[in-house]
Structure 1
Amino acid sequence: MGGAVSVENAEIIYVAGDGAIGLTEPFAARFENDMPFDIKCPVVTRKHEALIKENWSVISQGTSAFDAVKHMTPAKFFYRTFYNILFETAPSLRPIFRSSMTVQGKSLAGIINTLATVINGSDIVWAAQELAKRHLKYGAKKDHYTAVGQILLQTLEIVSGDKWTPEIS
């Protein structure tokens, strides 16, 4: 985050002097009606960065919600929970996912780990853009992002167990 982030298109993403990174107000305004949360201009601050990293680290190691007998690994617990909720909530998305759920799940856990890791580095913009490009090729639509975002937050709350706090949400 901060000055290390290279922003090719400053009309979309900005970096503040304190290291916060976010969407510019004009760009965010284009999606205001599609955002399910009361956030006018999404910004990730240093405090958010620390919370994201800490929470993902705890999830990756296994929380009070993790049952090793049932799920074998914390990553499997995370991705099984995510895809179970996703396909129950939005069954029309199931055909987009053509590979096995184990392969897909490992990919999802890897993507979340990468994004949580590079959130403070110069690669966050590139990583997010590449992820978006890949998902366009898979057939992802704008309205899918709302469902996936809400389900991701729901999943993170579930798998965080007693480590989930109002501050994280």
Structure 2
Amino acid sequence: MYLKHLLSNPIFSKSMLLTGKLGLDRLVDSVNLMDAPDIIHYVKPGQLLLSNGYFMKKEPALMMDLIQQMDKLGCSGLAVKTKRFKLDIPKSVLEKAESLSFPIIELSSVNHSLGEILEQSTGYLLENKNHELQYAISINKQFSSMTLQGKGKHLL
């Protein structure tokens, strides 16, 4: 699923894209929630990271390193509740993320916990995967039926 589609989920209705608009076409395979300086060792390609920004407040330079490493790894973006710990995202970080087309999403206006956002996002992703699987099963059944009826040779 594209990040822009995940962000259309009602749980993100009050979120705000701070930077990286061109990165909204990044694929999201999963959502992760963690706040630790060594988070990069736990994120995966295609992952949207949710954070309250606590560890970044103490060392703002960590955010620059994090977004560069996440971009290199192929992560989908970073969604942060900046108001909880009064995190100011440095202008240099926003500019770097923009140059990388790496989305940074502000979640502070969202009236849900990060756990709720994680749960609903994961459910939305799984629902989408289920739809894809059902479609694949339907196509497989059609091809199998055609093959059994001797029409399979016309497919090649």
Q: TM-score range by the shorter chain?
A: under 0.3
Higher helix share: 1
**TM-score normalized by structure 2?**
0.26
Structure-1-length-normalised TM-score:
0.25
Q: Which has the larger radius of gyration?
A: 2
